[in-house]
Amino acid sequence: MRGVLHAGLPLALALTLGTAGAQPSTLQAPTGECRAGYWSSNRNLDERDGNGLLACGLSWRQPVAQGLRTVFSGRAGQNLSGDARAFDSRLREGYVEWESGDWSLRVGRQVLAWGRADRINPTDNLSPRDFTALVAEDEEQRLGIDAVRLRHDFNEAFSATAVWARFTAHRMPTGLWPPNLVPATEPGRGEWALKLDHVGDIDWSVSYFEGYERSARYAVQPQALGGFVFQGRYERARVLGLDTATAAGPWTLRTEMAHGQFRPDCTGCATSRREVSRIVLGADRDVLDETNLNVQLFGIHRTGYVDPAGLQGTQQMVAQGLDRLNSEFGRNEWGLSLRLSRRMLNERLKLELSAITDFTQGSAVLRPRVYYAISDALRWSAGADHFTGPRQSFFGNRKRNDLVFTELSFIF
C-alpha cells in the first residue's frame, strides 16, 4: 500500500500526460499567492525576533478526462516556519481523483479535514498541522498526508468515506525542549478511518479512526547513575467521533465530540492505556448585517492524569515538565472561544477579533486581525497574537510566541 502512495505523484503526471494525449483537455492555468511581510517573532518558542517572510504558494487543478483530474498545491519561500531560517519548499497536495457515478477515489498527498466546529475539532484526527508556520489563518497550518480516500454517495443525504493513510506528525515548536529530551521516532505503520455523513435539516457525521496521535507523548525514562530523560513516543490511537450542525432561527448550532483510547506503541515500555474525551458546543449567527459572532464552550476529560500538586520536590518539577511537554494541565479542562468578524467597505475590509480562554488554569490568547483588499490582486493584512496566564497552563506556556505581523499579498 505504501508503494501505491509513493507512486501517487508519478501516476498523476503519467495520467495527465498520457490520458490527455488520448482525450485532449483544456490546460488550466494555475492560481496562487505570493506573500512578503515581517513577523516580530517566530512560533518556535525560542524567542528569536525579527523574521522577514517571502513565500509563494501555487495550486493547479487539471481535468484529464471524463471523471478524472489531478490536483497539485505547494509552497516555497524564506521562513515558511519558525524552525527554519533558510529557503524551504513543501508539497501540500498532489493526488489523482477519479469520479464515476456515486463513487470517487483519491490517491496521493491530500488534506483531510474532518469536523463541523469552528477551528477546535476533536474528530480531526487525520489532518497534521505545522504549528510553527508563519501564517495568519489556522487553516493554512494544515499539511497534506499520503493517503487513499474512497467515498460513496448513497443518495443526496448520506455518504460514506474510507481512508487509508501513511502517518504524518504535527510539526511542533522545539524551543522549549529540555536538553535531556529524546525525540520520538515516527511510526512506519499505516492508519485508517471511516466516516458516515448525513446532510439535511440536521447535518451530522459519525467517524472512527485507528492510527496514531499526531503529537508525540513524553514519559520519564530512568538512566544509569540516577539520571533520566524525557522519552518521546507516538501512541496508538482509537477514536470514535460525532459532530452535528443545525439551524435554529438566526443561529447555527454545532456540536463535536470524540472519545479516544491511547497506548504506547513500543517494545518493553509501559503498556498502560489512557482515555481522553473531548467536547465542543458552539453557536454562531450574523448580527448587524455584516458582522458574525461565534461562541464555543469546550471541555476535556482525561483518565490516568497525575496532578503535580500532589507531589513534592524533584517529583513535582518533573511532573510539571511533563505537563508542559504534553500540553496537559489537569484531569478536567474547560474553556471558551470567541470570534467576532465584520466586513466593511463592500467587503474589501475585514476586521476580526478571536480569543480563547482556559477557565481551568486561567490562561488565554487574544488574536486581532485586519485584512484589506487594495485591489482584486493585492491584499494587505496585519495582526497580533498575545498569550497570558501562569507558566503551568496551555496558553501561559506559549508566551514566547507573542508577536505582531504585517504582510502584503499578490494573488494571481
Per-residue model confidence as pLDDT tens digits over 373-405: 999 999 999 999 999 999 999 999 999 999 999
| Residue range 238-267, pLDDT digits in tens | 999 999 999 999 999 999 999 999 998 866
Separation of alpha carbons 26 and 106, rounded Å: 21
Say what the pLDDT of residue 20 is: 43
Q: Output the CA torsion 129→30→377→89 (10° steps).
A: 40
- Return d(Cα 262, Cα 271) in angstroms, integer: 10
DSSP 8-state code for residue 81: B
* In the predicted structure, residue 15 carries a pLDDT above the cut 50: no
Identify the pLDDT of residue 7.
44
CA 398 to chain centre: 17
What's the domain range around 94? 2-411
Chain centroid offset of residue 75 CA: 17
Is the predicted pLDDT of residue 8 greater than 80, yes or no? no
Which strands sit side by side in the sheet containing 181-182, from one edge to the other?
181-182, 228-233, 217-222
Count of structural domains within the chain: 1
Q: What is residue 190's predicted lDDT score, i.e. its pLDDT?
A: 95
**Percent of the chain's residues with pLDDT above 90:** 84
- Alpha carbons 167 and 193: distance in angstroms, whole number: 12
For position 318, what pLDDT does the model report? 96
The whole-number average pLDDT for the span 177-206 is 96
Average of per-residue pLDDT values in the chain:
92
Contact criterion met (CB below 8 Å) for 185 and 197 = no
- The label of the residue with cell 448520506 reads 158
The confidence band for 80, taking pLDDT boundaries of 50, 70 and 90, is confident
pLDDT the model gives residue 3: 47
Q: Give the residue-averaged pLDDT of 345-362.
A: 97
What does pTM read for this prediction? 0.91
pLDDT at residue 376 in the model: 96
* β-strand partners of 291: 287, 342
Residue 83 has a pLDDT of 65
- Whether the Cβ atoms of residue 61 and residue 13 lie closer than 8 Å to each other: no
Mean pLDDT, range 64-84, rounded to an integer: 90
- Give the pLDDT confidence score for residue 14 in this predicted structure: 44
Confidence of residue 268 (pLDDT cuts 50, 70, 90): low
* Lowest-pLDDT choice from 32-36, 271-275, 316-320: 271-275
| 39 burial type by CB count under 10 A (0-12 exposed, 13-18 middle, 19+ buried) | buried
Confidence of residue 162 (pLDDT cuts 50, 70, 90): very high
Q: Average pLDDT for residues 329-352, to the nearest whole number?
A: 97
| Mean pLDDT value across residues 297-308 | 96
Q: What is the CATH number of the domain that holds 355?
A: 2.40.160.100
Q: Which of 2-6, 171-175, 248-252 has the lowest mean pLDDT?
A: 2-6
From residue 254, how far is each of 251, 280, 297 by CA, in Å? 10, 8, 11
Residue appearing with cell numbers 496562487: 32
Rg (CA), the chain: 23
Longest alpha-carbon distance in the chain? 74
Q: Which of 126, 202, 128 is nearest to 161 (CA)?
A: 126
pLDDT of 330 > 80? The answer is yes
Look at residue 49 in the predicted model and tell me its pLDDT. 82
- Rounded alpha-carbon distances, angstroms, from residue 399 to 40, 45, 134, 231: 13, 8, 16, 25
Q: In the block, which residue shows the cell 510566541?
A: 401
Helix segments in 249-368, DSSP class H: 313-326
